[in-house]
Amino acid sequence: MGLLQDRYVIVTGAASPRGLGKATAKLFADHGATVAILDLDAGAAEDAARDLGDGHVGLAANVTDQAACRAAVEDLIGRWGRIDVLVNNAGITQPLKIMDIAPENYDAVLDVNLRGTLYMSQAVIPAMRDQKSGSIVNLSSVSAQRGGGIFGGPHYSAAKAGVLGLTKAMARELAPDNVRVNAICPGFIATDITAGKLTDEMRASVLAGIPMGRAGEASDVAGCCLFLASDLAAYCTGTEVDVNGGSLIH
């Protein structure tokens, strides 16, 4: 028996082959969950769902579009009858300095990371409240806690800090309905977002700041998502869990 046997799960932004979302979706499927992968591109989402095995779903949804989030969730409730877990993984980053952040940069990064987390959560909350159970896992970042310094610009730090505040406020409001909301703060993880964008010197300096001496893997984050999604974390809500190899110990 897996930790998520007979649970129905949504993971956003999970079509990227080496991303955190895909690794999380795969681990959840391995633990018995039925998974819906939401991404901008329907074909990519369907392909990713197919990789997980039979019975999983791939849907196109832009998390910055409230109506699209609601439509995707309504589609899934029509198929499944319930939603047990939402992983708000969809995110983008930009390595800009403070004076280089233009309005369109701010809009893009805040909208996907923060507004998308809000809209997807709003879409699943009514069903979770009705069934008196649910787990929402939000992806923040060590950048929110330490003020950047790895890859994303200050607007990325701000968006991911916003995710922490939203997580805690939602946790407080939803706890009476037995809906848990928690955040994960990954450190430097080797994924497609950072691939090819770091020079050897940058990489060496990042690794020098990690006591465990290695970059994280997508599977490291996926394992933490599994814990928070499952009944092992039944009394955890409003938490932020660090997955950073010791790069921030506080």
What domains are defined for the chain? 8-239 (3.40.50.720)
> Residues 209-224: what's their mean pLDDT?
96
Instruction: Please give the positions annotated as active site.
Output: 156
Q: What residues contact 23, with CB distance under 8 A and at least 6 apart?
A: 217, 218, 219, 221, 222
Length of the chain: 250
Place of tokens 């681990």: 27
Q: What confidence score (pLDDT) does residue 62 get?
A: 98
Are the beta carbons of 59 and 45 closer than 8 angstroms? Answer: yes
* pLDDT tens-digit readout, 38-89: 999 999 999 999 999 999 999 999 999 999 999 999 999 999 999 999 999 9
Q: Which of 87-91, 104-108, 205-209 has the lowest mean pLDDT?
A: 205-209
Per-residue confidence band for 200, with pLDDT thresholds at 50, 70 and 90? confident
Residues 142, 147, 152, 158, CA torsion sign: positive
pLDDT at residue 122 is higher than 90: yes
**Coil, strand or helix: which one is 9?**
strand
Strand ranges, E, within the chain: 8-12, 34-39, 57-60, 85-88, 134-139, 179-186, 240-243
**Distant-in-sequence, close-in-space partners of 169: CB < 8 Å, separation ≥ 6:** none
DSSP assigned state of 189: B
Q: Strands across the sheet with 240-243, in order? A: 57-60, 34-39, 8-12, 85-88, 134-139, 179-186, 240-243
